[in-house]
Structure 1
Amino acid sequence: MADIYLSVDVGGSQTKIIYQLAGSKKPNYLLMPPAVEEITKTKLDNYMARLGWIGSPSPDQQLWVVWDERVVVLGDFAACFDPQDRIKELKYENALWKVLGAIGLIVETSNIKVSPKKPLKVELALLLPWNEYSDRRRFEEQLRKMLAGFGVRNTALKVSLERFLCRPEGGGLAAVRIKQQGIDWLRSQQLGVLMFGHRNTTALYFDRGQLKLGDSPLLGFANMLDMVIEMTSGLDRERLALAIFQARYAVLDEIYNPNYSNTRRPDWSTCAAIIALASAKDPNLRDKEIQDIGKAISVATAEYWDKLERWMSRVLPAQLDEVIIGGGAAYHVEPELEKYFNCEPKIETQPSLSRNSYGSGGTKIRTSGYKSKDYNKHFTPMIWGSGISEQVKQTFNLEKKQFGEQCTSSRLVDCFGLFDYLVGLEATNDKS
């Protein structure tokens, strides 16, 4: 039995980590900013000396890894050392340091006792973009070498990698759906998986059980954000992305209004989160700036979708039986996805319990399912997050209707699906 079961998704906007300790009844999760920066030991020492004793930051706020006399700072701590924009770099190389950092962080925050003579036993599952999936053996070889002896913060660690499982992004969602429906179902389906990430957009295509195609170009949400930034002034990716999703979340009732046949998009220039992005002081200039930001988002979204649509048409067959949708950026192009797959949300009417509304026909609500919008065209049902979003919310107590918790649950589904598959392998071994 392993000491730690670990699933890692090294996304472009966040590193998602799900882990469970031996003997624990349920998993936990960690989220870290994606920044990774190599510095000298002298630079780290000088920084800590200048800092002196000021407050008591948590381990995740001052996270660094030491291996073979190299020092790499991670997450929030990397921001203190002028990190480079690495969104176009290969994920797997930076993922090595992130895995080491995650293990060290789990050890420290969980108060796991470590021994210099007895290595920790870890089972690891990792998600990589399809275009880096072929690097998984190289990653595993280098990771085992690094795990033999490394340091995280002030703790020296040795780790034995008991199991290594690597899947392309979207593989966690595919594993969950196959578990739900069964192998016989998979062998009768043409199944697509689409993951809309910050850095990559990934497509997987299963033809009656066989993975026929995968692709993972740099068509992530960051492309759309960069288009907006080019058309405006004073914005950056992080602030802009946060504002866009806050604006969307603030008008969910309007976006998913059951009186309309499809998902709608906010009027960006009227959203408080978008208005807050404007920096001009003069009221007239500020109003013009807000209108320009709203127009830039609309124009960039249309261009972003045009690129996605042409790519999807090239890599996926037109006659899919089902498509699994994942990734936070998918929600930004939800109206376009519904049109592309000929989906119209199903609407149900719930009887009203109020006497005053007796006979009014009840309340319309939107369900999670779809029907064909145009019966003359092929209909491909979309399955958002393989239907496990609610399970993720319940597992990690994310059930409150708050913006941050909704974003977290949608980001964790792929990582959670792969984690579920990993611990399922252990359970199968125990039974046998």
Structure 2
Amino acid sequence: MTDIYLSVDVGGSQTKIIYQLDDQTKPSYLLLSPEIEEITKDKLNFFMERLGWIGSPSPDQQLWVEWNNRVVVLGEFAANFDALDRIKELKYENALWKVLGAVGLIVELNKVKVTAKKQINLELALLLPWNEYSDRRRFEEQLRVMLADFRVRQLSLKVNLERFLCRPEGGGLAALRIKQQGVDWLRTSQLAVLMFGHRNTTALYFDRGQLKLGDSPLLGFANMLDIVLDMTSGLDRERLSNAIFDARYAIINKVYSKDRNYSSRPDWISFDEIQALASAKDPTLREKEISNIADAINVATAQYWDKLNRWMDKILPRPLNEVIIGGGAAYHVEVELEKYFNCAWQLKKIYEYSSVYERTGQYIPKDDNLPMIPMVWGSGFITQVQETFNLDSEQTYRYSTSARLVDCFGMFDYLLGMETSQ
């Protein structure tokens, strides 16, 4: 009998984890920082003796895994050991340790009873970039070896991998949309999936039910951030990314006038979040610094989109019946995506005699003389993800968290669907 159903997306900005225990009626989620670093056991012991006892950090804030005399620290905890930037490393090798850490976290947080003789039975769904998808068998073989006997924090665990399901990034989005529309729809459609991640940007193309091509170059949002960092001083990726998305989501659901049925980009210089990035204390210097940051974001966005545009021109076949859009970074280039796929928001009046409108959630052609390829954000399941995990109470990040989770959620839904069908 399965004890844990687990879906993991080892993204470049966060590790997304969705799980459900056998005796639970609904899933839960965890988000971990992507950092990972291998250290010596002596180094871990020294830290714990010196600082580890201070306060009462939650398990996810002080997470490490031990296997075969190796020690790997994960998430926020890795920052204490000068973790390297591993954004250009292969995901699947680091994913081994992240899956072990996720299992240990789930066991500890949910107080799962563990004994020396008891094995935990696990069903796992994993998302990998398309360019690492061919490594899935090697990943599975090594994971089974590591799960047989390992430690997470103070827990000694033995885990039996009952089922392993691996799909390329975007596979969860595709599964949700196919479940929603049906197999007959899929067999008569040309469908593309675009995942805009922090490290990779992934494209999948389905032609009448068959996955015909995929690509996952290192064209992630981190590239855009690095351009801004090169043009400014005193910033880091995390602070900059948070400020950009704070400003973006502040206007993402704004009310539209009839002649503004398209998305707009923030006037970066006017937002408190962007202004807070400046470090100069002199008012004149500070004003110039803020202006420089805003200009750098605009320049970097243009360069980022230019690379994406040329890549999509090369990789996406025509015609397409629709394109599924996923990943938090997609919202940063929503303006460009609408133009690229010739989409404009269909509007409705807020009330009968109003002169202002709001989005209906449906697209119409931006230019009636050009073909439109409808975009479907998050396979249409972002609201369901919000409701499942009680994210509808979020404000600034309710789109961000839901958009980041939906691919992982799709894989989890698919995994449970396989269990139910049997």
Does the alignment reach a TM-score above 0.5?
yes
| RMSD (Å), alpha carbons | 1.2
**Contact 2:328–2:400 (Cα < 8 Å) also in 1:** yes
| 1:117 has 2:117 as partner | yes
**Quick one: which amino acid aligns to residue 6 of structure 2?**
L
In 2 relative to 1, CA 313–236 (structure 1 residues): closer, same or farther, beyond 3 Å?
A: same
CA deviation vs aligned residue, 1:1-45 (integer Å, no higher than 9, x gap): 310000000000000000000021100000000000000001001
Q: What is the TM-score when the length of structure 1 is the normalising length?
A: 0.96
Out of 401, 410, 413, the residue aligned to residue 417 of structure 1 is 410
CA deviation vs aligned residue, 1:193-249 (integer Å, no higher than 9, x gap): 000000000000001111000000000000000000001111110000000001112
Q: Distance in 2 between matches of 1:149 and 1:52?
A: 25
Map 1:118-197 → 2, pairs under 5 A: 118-197=118-197
How far did 1:348 drift?
A: 1.4
Give the corresponding residue for 2:380: 387
Out of 357, 367, 371, the residue aligned to residue 360 of structure 2 is 367
Q: Distance in 1 between matches of 2:248 and 2:111?
A: 40
**Contact 1:7–1:19 (Cα < 8 Å) also in 2:** yes
Q: Distance in 2 between matches of 1:325 and 1:405?
A: 17
**Contact 1:17–1:31 (Cα < 8 Å) also in 2:** yes
How far did 1:406 drift?
A: 3.0
**Contact 1:188–1:208 (Cα < 8 Å) also in 2:** yes
Q: Distance in 2 between matches of 1:363 and 1:57?
A: 49
In 2 relative to 1, CA 90–204 (structure 1 residues): closer, same or farther, beyond 3 Å?
A: same
Q: Distance in 2 between matches of 1:166 and 1:256?
A: 41
Give the corresponding residue for 2:25: 25
How far did 1:126 drift?
A: 0.2
Q: Distance in 2 between matches of 1:184 and 1:222?
A: 38
Out of 362, 378, 382, the residue aligned to residue 371 of structure 2 is 378
**Quick one: which amino acid aligns to residue 54 of structure 1?**
I
Structure 1, 81-90 or 395-404: larger mean CA deviation:
395-404
Q: Distance in 2 between matches of 1:35 and 1:139?
A: 19
In 2 relative to 1, CA 372–137 (structure 1 residues): closer, same or farther, beyond 3 Å?
A: same
**Contact 1:204–1:215 (Cα < 8 Å) also in 2:** yes
**Contact 1:349–1:363 (Cα < 8 Å) also in 2:** yes
- Find the residue that maps to 1:306 and give its secondary structure: helix
**Contact 1:125–1:166 (Cα < 8 Å) also in 2:** yes
Q: Distance in 2 between matches of 1:197 and 1:255?
A: 28
In 2 relative to 1, CA 282–377 (structure 1 residues): closer, same or farther, beyond 3 Å?
A: same
How far did 1:251 drift?
A: 2.7
Give the corresponding residue for 1:397: 390
Give the corresponding residue for 2:347: 347
How far did 1:115 drift?
A: 2.1
**Contact 1:13–1:199 (Cα < 8 Å) also in 2:** yes
**Contact 2:169–2:407 (Cα < 8 Å) also in 1:** yes
In 2 relative to 1, CA 256–319 (structure 1 residues): closer, same or farther, beyond 3 Å?
A: farther
How far did 1:405 drift?
A: 3.2
Give the corresponding residue for 2:69: 69
In 2 relative to 1, CA 428–128 (structure 1 residues): closer, same or farther, beyond 3 Å?
A: same
How far did 1:402 drift?
A: 1.0
**Contact 1:258–1:364 (Cα < 8 Å) also in 2:** yes
Give the corresponding residue for 1:41: 41
Q: What is the TM-score when the length of structure 2 is the normalising length?
A: 0.98
Q: Distance in 1 between matches of 2:177 and 2:253?
A: 28
**Quick one: which amino acid aligns to residue 38 of structure 2?**
E
**Contact 1:147–1:159 (Cα < 8 Å) also in 2:** yes
How far did 1:404 drift?
A: 2.9
Q: Distance in 2 between matches of 1:99 and 1:196?
A: 23
Give the corresponding residue for 2:337: 337
Count of aligned pairs: 422
